[in-house]
Amino acid sequence: MKREGEKIAMVTAYDYTTAYLVDQAGVPIILVGDSLGMVVLGYRSTIPVTMEDMIHHIKAVSRGSRGSLIVGDMPFMTYQIDESQALLNATRFLQEGGAHAVKLEGGEQVAETVRRIVATGIPVLGHIGLTPQSVNQFGGYRVRGNTKAEAAQLLRDAIALQEAGAFGIVLELVPSLLSKLITEKVTVPTIGIGSGPHCDGQVQVINDIMGLFTKFIPKHTKQYARLSDTILDALKSYMEEVRTGKFPTSKESFGGYEVTQTDTDH
């Protein structure tokens, strides 16, 4: 797709029903992101997400999707200790979860780990820029690459990931012009989130673009629907019809043998 100049759409999914709809829409890549910690499990960050959490949701997504490439986010401290740990956990994503590839955060510092995983036949998607698992180190969620030193490091990170065998690189909250430079310098696809229009593709959290999560709307997202309003209206209508006896009607009920008092006496 990069060679042919075709932009790549990627979106998150965390359950069977959503994955089925994303697959039916023809979205080529599904990310089962550790963002599920925040939008599904209610954590304040992605840090508490475990391997068991991820595998549980990857299984559901893999059952719902037939045509999309499924990428699983390796959670915090499941690939940083050593390469053997990383390889074992990446393998679990494919064998137990049904993922087709894994995603790791970091650049030069994880390049050798990426190389080892790829060498075993497991595709790896890189992730640089704002890496949410490092939010405590960064001191918050902010754009990365605004200084000359940071920009130079991100370019080195992208090249290191490509040389290690990553099939693509997510650029999160990277300035648009820097994303353009990185995209031009590497031959693998770049997938942006809050990194401008010059990346080879874009990834978004489905809860954001569908308007399901409205407490906070990131600057980098666009609401293509506002399902939270639709769901709230539907729930209020349901409660009112139950309260007033309008639901269920005979249409939503089942017929059968007409029971009489004599039948109950027996």
Query: Is the confidence at residue 249, as pLDDT, over 70?
Result: yes
Active site (annotated) includes residue 172 = yes
Residue 174 CB neighbours (<10 A): 30
Which pLDDT does position 5 carry in this prediction?
94
Which tens digit of pLDDT belongs to each residue from 217-232?
A: 889 999 999 999 999 9
Check: pTM over 0.85? Answer yes or no: yes
Which tens digit of pLDDT belongs to each residue from 95-123?
A: 999 999 999 999 999 999 999 999 999 99
Which pLDDT does position 142 carry in this prediction?
76
Q: Where are the domains of the chain?
A: 8-228
Burial letters 145-167, b for 16+ CB under 10 A, else e: beeeebbebbbebbbbbbebbbb
Q: Which residues pair with 201 in a beta bridge?
A: 8, 191
Please compute the mean of the pLDDT values over residues 65-71 and round it to a whole number. 97
For 8-228, the fitting CATH number among 3.50.50.60, 3.20.20.60, 3.90.1580.10, 2.40.320.10 is 3.20.20.60
Which pLDDT does position 57 carry in this prediction?
98
Q: Which is nearest to 23 in space by CA: 39, 11, 36? A: 11
Which of the following is catalytic: 4, 150, 172, 240?
172
